[in-house]
C-alpha cells in the first residue's frame, strides 16, 4: 500500500524482491555496526586502519578462495591477525601508526596478488577476483547471514563493554593509564572490534562500502552531535538511511539508466556524500551556543610528535 | 633475464624507484601513507572512465589523481586529514565501480593497473614516464626547504610565510603526478609500497635528510631490482615481492633503531613501552602538527 | 658533575612536615641504564602547595609517574596517605600534560568530568542523579559551569585546564598531581589556574604537587618547592631552597639567583646543559 502513493519513487517489484530484502537487511546491519565502530575509529584517527583492513581482508578472502573455504573465514582470520600485528607494533603517534598500517597493508596486498595469481592459474575465473574485491550487495552466499549477524553482534558488544575506558583512553592515554585502565588491552579490544566489523561489512557489501559506512556516517555524526552516545546513534541512522536510499536508487536506476543500472555501492556513496555536505552546511549555520569569553585567552598548542 | 623485452621493465622500474624514493621520503615524513595508498588506488577509476569514453587511460589516471589530490586537500580543510582521505578514496572507487558497470567488456588492462604489469611496458610508454618523473623530482627539489619546514615545524614555517595548506596541496599534487607516471608501469600496489617501505627503512639509519633521501632511493632501487629478478625466476607476481621486501626493510629498520637506542641507554622505543618510560627528551616543547 | 652531597635543607622526609599526604623517601629511578632520579626525598602535607621545579630533562615527569605507580623505582619508596589505593579510590588525581583534542571530539566538558568519576569502569555509563550532581558540583568548584555543555575540543587552553582539574578532583583525591599545567597558557590563564589550585588546596585540604620549569607564577602560593636538576633534588620552603649557594651546589656549577621586582631568575654562569633537541633531528628519527 505504501508503494501505491510513492509509486514514482519505488519501481515496481522493489518491496517484493527477495534480493532487495536481503540487501536492505544486510545493509542495515552493516550500517549499524559500522556506525558504532566508526565513531570510535574517527575519534582515534584510525581511518586508515579501518580502510586497510578491508583490503587486508581481501587478501584473506583470496587465500580462502584458493583453499576452497568460505571467503568470510579467511577474511576474518587475516583481519584479526593484522589487527593483532598493528597492536603489537604499538605505535601511538598517528604518523608512525599510519606508516605501520601502510606497511602491513602493502604486505597484505602483495599476498593478495600472490593468491589471486595462483587462483587465476588454477581456476581461471577472473570474475571471482572482482567479486572478492568489490563484493556485491545483490549476490550473497546463502546461509552467511547468521555468521554475519554474530560477527556484528560481537563487534558491537565489544565496543559496549569497552565504552568508558575506550573513550577515556581516546581522550588521553596517560589519564587512562593513571586511572589503572588497561590501555593496551582496551586498544587491542577496539582493534578486534574494528577487524570484525570491517570483515562482516566488506564481505557482504564490498570493500568500498565497508570503508564508506565506517567513516562517512561517523564523520556526519561528529559534525552535528556533541555527545558520544548521540554521535553513535546518528552514525547508525545515517548509515541505514544511506544504505536504504542507495539501494532504492540503484534498484530504480535499472529502469532509467539502462543496462544493469547503477551499482549499489555508487548510489550509497553518493547519498553519504550528500548527507556529509548537508551536515557541513548545518554545522556552519548553527550559532555557537557559548557566550564570548573575555578571559582564558590561552589556547593549547599541539605538541610535535617526536619520533 | 636481461633479454630485450625485459630491459624496458628494468628501466621503467628503475625510474619509478628513483621517484618513489625521493617523494617517499616526504611521504613518510608527513605521515601521508594513507594518501599514498588512496591516490594510486582511486586513480584507476579515472582509467576506467577513460576507457568508457574512449580516451587515453593515462589521461584518465592523471585527471583523477589530480582531482583526488584536490579533494583530499579541500575536504581536509574542515575535516581530519585521514577522514578526508578516506572519503576521497571511497568516492573515487565508487566512481570506478560505476564506470566499470557501464561497460560490458571487462578490461583486464584496468585490472592490471591495480597489481601492475611491469613486464608489459612498451618502449614508447617510457618517454612520458621519464618526463613526469623528472618533473616530480624537480618539484621536490624546488620545494625542498619549504616542504621540510612545513613538515617538521609548521609554526616556524607559518612565521616565515609558508602556508601549510598550500604545501599540503603542493605535495598531494606531486603524489598525483607520481601516481600518474608510476601506476601504468608498476601498478598501484607497487607504487604505494615503494613510497613508504624503503623511505621508512632509510629513516632508521640516518638523521640527516639528504642522506635519508639518498638511502631511500637506494633501498627502493634494491627493492624493485630484487623483486623483478626473483619474480622472473619464480614466475610469481612482482607485487608480492615488493610488498614483502618493503615490510622486511621496515622491520629491519625498526629493529635497528631499537637496538641503537638500547645501546645509547634509552628505552628501545618511545612508544612500544608502557608509560613507565620517560619521554624521549623530557617534555616536548616544540610545536607542530 | 660535582660529587658533593646534596645541600641539606630541612629534613623533610619525616619530622619536617605534619600530616604528610605524600612522602617520597630516597627515591631513585633508572631507565634504560640511565639514572633519571637520584635519591630524591621530600613530602607534601594535606593542604600544601608544592612546586616541582626543574628544566626539561631534569626528571619531573619521571618523578610524577613514579608517584602514580607507573614507573618502578630502583631504590627508595613512595607513600601516599595511608598507603591504601585502589582503582575505585585512587587517592591521587592526575592532570597530564597537554592533551591533543580535535574539535570534533564528541564530549562536552561535563562528560569529561563524568569520565573522571567512572571512566575506568567497563560498560556504558548509566545516567544517575548522584553522578550528575557530583559533576555539577565539581564544575562549579572550578568555575566551569559557564562552558559545561561545550565540546572539549573547542575550549580554550585555560578552560580545558579547568576541566582537566575537575575530572581529577571529582574522585575526592588526597593528592592532586599536575604535570606542567601552565606550560602553554598565557599569563592571565596561568594566574587563574594557580589561583584556582591554591583555593582548592586550602579549602579542600588537598595536597597539590605541580611541575613547572618556571617557578615565578607559583611564588605567591607555593609553600614548598622541590627543585630538580639532573635527577637530584633539594626541597624546602622557597626561601630555603631558591638561593645561590644551595642551587649552585645542586647544579654542580655556579648559578646566580636574582630577585627582580618580586620575581626570581636563576641564571647560569656557564651554559646550562639542558636538553634542547634539534627539531629537524627529532623528526628524522624513525618511528
**Is residue C144 domain-resident?**
yes
How many B/C residue pairs have CB atoms within 8 Å?
Answer: 88
Query: C150 and C42: one domain?
Result: no
Counting the structural domains of chain C, the total is 2
Question: Residue C195: inside a domain, yes or no?
Answer: yes
Q: Which three cell numbers stand for residue B169?
A: 596541496
Across chain A, where does the E strand assignment appear?
none
pLDDT digits (tens, 9 = 90+) for A187-236: 999 999 999 999 999 988 888 999 999 999 999 999 999 999 999 999 99
Cβ of B189 within 8 Å of Cβ of A262? The answer is no
| Residue of B31, B98, B275 lying closest to A266 (CB–CB) | B98
**Model confidence band, residue A26 (pLDDT cutoffs 50, 70, 90):** confident
Contact across the interface for C120 and A179, Cβ inside 8 Å: yes
Query: In the structure grid, which three cell numbers stand for residue B72, read together?
Result: 583530499
Per mean pLDDT, which of A11-15, A193-197, B276-280 is the most reliable? A193-197
pLDDT for A96 equals: 84
Q: In this predicted structure, what is the pLDDT of residue A296?
A: 35
Q: What is the pLDDT of residues C28-46, one digit of tens each?
A: 998 877 888 889 999 998 8
C110 and chain A in contact, CB less than 8 A: no
Q: Give B153's pLDDT tier (boundaries 50, 70, 90).
A: confident
State yes or no: pLDDT of B265 exceeds 70: no
Q: Judge whether C15 lies within some domain.
A: no
CA distance B56 to chain C (A): 40
The answer to whether position A129 is within a domain reads: yes
Q: How confident is the model over B116-148, as pLDDT tens digits?
A: 554 455 555 677 888 999 999 999 999 999 999
Of C33, C275, C283, the CB nearest to B282: C275
Helix, strand, or coil here: A256? helix
Average pLDDT over residues B261-269: 63
Specify the pLDDT at position B272.
35
Nearest C-alpha of chain C: how many angstroms from A286? 13
One domain, residues C190 and C268: yes
Number of Cβ pairs < 8 A linking chain A and chain B:
193
CB of C106 within 8 Å of a chain B CB? The answer is no
Structural domains of chain B, count: 1
> Nearest Cα to B27, choosing from B157, B220, B186, B156?
B220
Determine the average pLDDT of the residues in A243-265.
84
**Residue owning grid cell 579467511:** A74
pLDDT tens for each residue of C115-148: 999 888 899 888 889 999 999 999 998 989 999 9
Residue C116: domain span: 102-168
Instruction: Decide if pLDDT at A34 tops 90.
Output: yes
- Closest CB to C121: pick one of A164, A231, A307: A164
State which residue of chain B sits closest to A180, comparing Cα positions: B275
- Residue B114 domain-assigned (yes or no): yes
Phi then psi for residue A9, to 5 deg, are: -80, -40
Contact B274 C61 (CB under 8 A): no
C238, C127: one domain: no
Q: What is the predicted pLDDT for the residue at C266?
A: 83
pLDDT of B201 above 90:
yes
Tell me what the pLDDT averaged over chain B comes to. Answer: 82
Which distant-in-sequence residues (6+ apart) come within 8 Å of C196 by Cβ?
C142, C143, C162, C165
Higher pLDDT, A11 or B277: A11
What CATH number did the domain enclosing A78 receive? 1.10.3470.10
Instruction: Please indicate if any CB of chain C lies within 8 Å of the CB of A179.
Output: yes
The residue range of the domain holding A43 is: 12-281
Neighbours of chain A (3+ CB pairs under 8 A): B, C
Report if residue C58 sits inside a domain: yes
Q: Which residue, among B278, B280, B287, would best test binding to C if mutated, counting the most C CBs under 10 Å from its CB? A: B278
Among all chains, which residue has been given the C-alpha cell 617523494?
Answer: B23
Domain that holds residue B58: 4-196
* Residue B14's CATH number: 1.10.3470.10
B118 in Cβ contact with B185 (< 8 Å): yes
Closest residue in B to A212 (Cα) is B90
CA distance B45 to B97: 7
Nearest-angstrom CA–CA distance, A205 and A27: 7
Q: How, if at all, do strands C20-31 and C75-80 pair?
A: antiparallel
What single DSSP character describes residue C216?
G
CA separation for the pair A74, A175 (Å, rounded): 38
Q: Which of C137, C168, C199 is the last residue of a domain?
A: C168
Q: How many domains does chain A have?
A: 1
pLDDT above 70 (res C285): no
CB-CB under 8 Å, A293 with C147: yes
* Domain presence at residue C46: yes
Is residue C11 in some structural domain?
A: no
Residue C257 belongs to domain with CATH number: 3.40.50.300
Of A106, A212, A270, which has the smallest distance from its Cβ to B243's Cβ?
Answer: A106
Is pLDDT above 70 for A263?
yes
Same domain membership, residue C240 and residue C205: yes
To test the contact with chain A by mutation, choose from C98, C119, C128 the residue with the greatest count of A C-beta atoms within 10 A, namely: C119
Q: Which three cell numbers stand for residue A156?
A: 558491537
Single out the residue in C151, C168, C185 at which a domain terminates. C168
Q: Is the pLDDT of residue C75 over 50?
A: yes
Residue C9: pLDDT band (50, 70, 90) is low
Other beta carbons within 10 angstroms of residue B141's beta carbon come to: 11
Asked if the structure places residue A290 within a domain, the reply is: no
Considering the domain architecture, whether residues C189 and C234 belong to the same structural domain is answered as yes
**Contact at CB, C284 and B271, closer than 8 angstroms:** no
* B55: confidence class by pLDDT, cuts 50, 70, 90: confident
Are residues C162 and C213 both part of a single domain?
Answer: no
Q: Does the structure show a pLDDT above 70 at B109?
A: no
Lowest mean pLDDT: which of A74-78, A118-122, B155-159, C242-246? A118-122
Q: Do residue B237 and residue A51 have CB atoms under 8 angstroms apart?
A: no
Decide the pairing of beta strands C49-53 and C224-229: parallel
Give the pLDDT mean for B33-53: 89
Q: Is residue A300 part of a domain?
A: no
Q: Is residue B123 part of a domain?
A: yes
Answer whether A174 touches C (CB < 8 Å): yes
Contacts of B241 in chain A (CB under 8 A): 110
Mean pLDDT of C65-76: 87
With a cut of 90, say whether residue C107 has pLDDT above it.
Answer: yes
**C124 → closest Cβ in A45, A163, A176:** A163
Q: C70 and B274: CB-CB below 8 Å?
A: yes
Residue B63, in any domain of the structure: yes
Is A260 inside a domain boundary?
A: yes
Q: What DSSP state is assigned to residue C16?
A: I
Asked if A20 has any chain C CB less than 8 Å from its own CB, the reply is no
CB contact under 8 A, B257 and C275: no
| pLDDT at residue A270 is higher than 80 | yes
Amino acid at each position: 500500500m505504501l508503494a501505491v502513493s510513492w509509486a514514482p519513487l519505488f519501481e515496481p517489484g522493489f518491496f517484493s524482491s527477495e534480493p532487495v530484502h536481503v540487501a536492505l537487511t544486510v545493509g542495515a546491519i552493516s550500517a549499524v555496526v559500522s556506525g558504532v565502530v566508526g565513531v570510535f575509529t574517527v575519534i582515534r584517527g584510525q581511518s586508515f586502519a579501518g580502510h586497510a583492513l578491508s583490503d587486508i581482508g581481501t587478501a584473506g578472502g583470496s587465500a580462502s578462495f584458493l583453499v576452497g573455504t568460505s571467503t568470510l573465514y579467511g577474511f576474518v582470520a587475516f583481519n584479526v591477525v593484522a589487527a593483532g600485528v598493528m597492536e603489537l607494533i604499538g605505535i601511538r603517534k598517528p604518523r608512525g601508526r599510519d606508516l605501520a598500517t601502510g606497511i602491513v597493508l602493502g604486505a597484505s596486498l602483495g599476498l593478495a596478488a600472490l593468491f589471486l595469481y595462483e587462483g587465476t592459474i588454477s581456476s581461471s575465473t577472473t570474475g571471482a577476483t572482482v567479486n572478492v574485491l568489490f563484493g556485491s550487495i545483490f549476490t550473497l552466499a546463502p546461509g552467511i547471514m547468521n555468521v554475519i549477524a554474530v560477527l556484528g553482534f560481537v563487534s558491537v558488544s565489544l565496543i559496549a563493554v569497552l565504552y568508558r575506558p575506550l573513550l577515556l583512553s581516546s581522550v588521553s592515554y596517560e589519564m587512562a593509564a593513571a586511572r589503572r585502565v588497561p590501555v593496551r588491552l582496551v586498544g587491542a579490544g577496539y582493534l578486534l572490534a574494528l577487524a570484525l566489523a570491517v570483515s562482516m561489512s566488506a564481505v557482504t557489501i564490498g570493500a568500498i562500502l565497508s570503508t564508506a559506512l565506517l567513516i562517512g556516517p561517523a564523520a556526519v555524526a561528529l559534525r552535528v552531535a556533541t555527545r558520544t552516545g548521540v554521535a553513535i546513534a546518528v552514525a547508525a541512522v545515517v548509515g541505514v538511511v544511506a544504505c536504504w536510499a542507495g539501494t532504492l536508487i540503484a534498484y530504480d536506476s535499472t529502469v532509467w539508466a539502462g543496462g544493469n543500472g547503477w551499482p549499489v555501492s555508487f548510489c550509497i556513496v553518493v547519498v553519504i556524500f550528500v548527507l556529509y555536505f548537508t551536515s557541513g552546511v548545518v554545522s556552519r549555520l548553527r550559532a555557537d551556543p557559548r557566550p564570548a569569553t573575555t578571559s582564558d585567552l590561552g589556547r593549547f598548542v599541539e605538541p610535535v610528535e617526536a619520533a | 633475464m636481461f633479454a630485450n623485452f625485459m630491459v624496458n621493465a628494468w628501466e621503467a622500474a628503475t625510474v619509478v624507484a628513483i621517484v618513489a624514493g625521493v617523494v617517499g621520503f616526504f611521504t613518510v615524513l608527513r605521515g601521508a601513507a594513507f594518501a599514498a595508498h588512496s591516490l594510486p588506488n582511486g586513480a584507476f577509476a579515472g582509467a576506467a572512465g577513460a576507457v568508457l569514453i574512449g580516451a587515453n587511460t593515462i589521461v584518465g589516471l592523471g585527471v583523477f589523481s589530480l582531482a583526488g589530490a584536490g579533494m583530499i586537500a579541500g575536504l581536509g580543510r574542515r575535516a581530519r586529514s585521514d577522514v578526508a582521505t578516506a572519503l576521497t578514496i571511497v568516492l573515487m572507487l565508487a566512481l570506478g565501480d560505476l564506470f566499470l558497470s557501464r561497460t560490458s567488456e571487462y578490461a583486464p588492462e584496468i585490472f592490471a593497473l591495480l597489481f601492475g604489469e611491469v613486464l608489459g611496458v612498451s618502449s614508447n610508454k617510457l618517454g612520458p614516464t621519464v618526463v613526469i618523473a623528472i618533473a616530480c623530482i624537480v618539484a621536490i627539489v624546488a620545494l625542498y626547504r619549504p616542504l621540510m619546514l612545513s613538515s617538521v615545524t609548521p609554526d616556524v614555517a607559518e612565521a616565515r610565510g609558508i602556508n601549510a595548506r598550500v604545501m599540503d596541496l603542493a605535495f598531494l599534487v606531486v603524489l598525483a603526478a607520481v601516481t600518474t607516471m608510476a601506476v601504468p608501469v608498476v601498478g598501484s600496489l607497487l607504487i604505494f609500497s615503494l613510497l613508504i617501505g624503503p623511505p621508512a627503512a632509510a629513516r632508521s639509519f640516518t638523521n640527516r635528510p639528504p642522506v635519508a633521501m639518498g638511502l631511500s632511493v637506494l633501498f627502493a632501487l634494491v627493492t624493485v631490482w630484487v623483486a623483478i629478478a626473483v619474480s622472473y625466476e619464480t614466475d610469481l607476481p612482482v607485487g608480492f615481492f615488493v610488498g614483502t621486501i618493503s615490510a622486511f626493510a621496515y622491520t629491519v629498520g625498526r629493529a635497528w633503531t631499537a637496538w641503537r637506542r638500547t645501546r645509547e641507554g634509552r628505552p628501545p622505543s618511545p612508544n612500544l613501552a608502557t608509560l613507565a618510560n620517560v619521554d624521549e627528551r623530557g617534555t616536548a616543547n616544540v610545536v607542530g602538527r | 658533575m660535582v660529587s658533593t652531597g646534596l645541600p641539606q635543607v630541612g629534613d623533610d622526609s619525616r619530622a619536617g612536615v605534619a600530616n604528610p599526604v605524600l612522602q617520597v623517601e630516597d627515591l631513585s629511578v633508572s631507565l634504560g641504564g640511565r639514572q633519571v632520579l637520584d635519591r630524591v626525598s621530600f613530602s607534601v602535607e594535606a593542604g600544601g602547595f608544592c612546586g616541582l621545579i626543574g628544566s626539561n630533562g631534569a626528571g619531573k615527569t619521571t618523578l610524577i609517574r613514579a608517584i602514580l605507580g607507573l614507573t618502578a623505582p630502583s631504590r627508595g619508596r613512595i607513600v601516599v596517605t595511608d598507603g591504601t589505593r585502589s582503582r575505585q579510590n585512587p587517592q591521587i588525581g592526575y592532570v597530564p600534560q597537554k592533551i591533543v583534542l580535535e574539535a570534533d571530539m564528541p564530549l562536552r566538558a561535563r562528560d569529561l568530568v563524568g569520565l573522571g568519576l567512572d571512566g575506568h569502569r567497563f560498560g556504558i555509563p548509566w545516567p544517575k542523579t548522584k553522578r550528575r550532581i557530583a559533576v555539577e558540583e565539581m564544575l562549579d568548584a572550578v568555575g566551569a559551569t559557564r562552558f559545561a555543555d561545550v565540546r572539549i575540543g573547542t575550549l580554550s587552553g585555560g578552560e580545558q585546564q579547568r576541566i582537566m582539574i575537575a575530572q581529577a578532583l571529582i574522585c575526592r583525591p588526597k593528592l592532586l598531581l599536575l604535570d606542567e599545567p601552565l606550560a602553554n597558557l598565557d599569563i592571565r590563564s596561568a594566574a587563574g589556574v594557580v589561583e584556582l589550585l591554591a583555593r582548592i588546596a586550602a579549602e579542600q585540604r588537598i595536597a597539590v604537587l605541580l611541575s613547572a620549569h618556571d617557578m615565578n607564577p607559583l611564588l605567591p602560593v607555593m609553600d614548598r618547592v622541590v627543585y630538580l636538576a639532573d635527577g637530584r633534588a633539594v626541597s624546602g620552603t622557597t626561601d630555603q631552597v631558591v638561593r645561590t649557594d644551595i642551587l649552585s651546589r645542586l647544579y654542580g656549577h655556579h648559578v646566580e639567583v636574582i630577585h627582580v621586582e618580586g620575581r626570581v631568575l636563576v641564571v647560569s654562569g656557564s651554559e646550562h646543559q639542558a636538553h634542547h633537541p634539534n627539531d629537524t633531528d627529532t623528526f628524522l628519527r624513525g618511528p
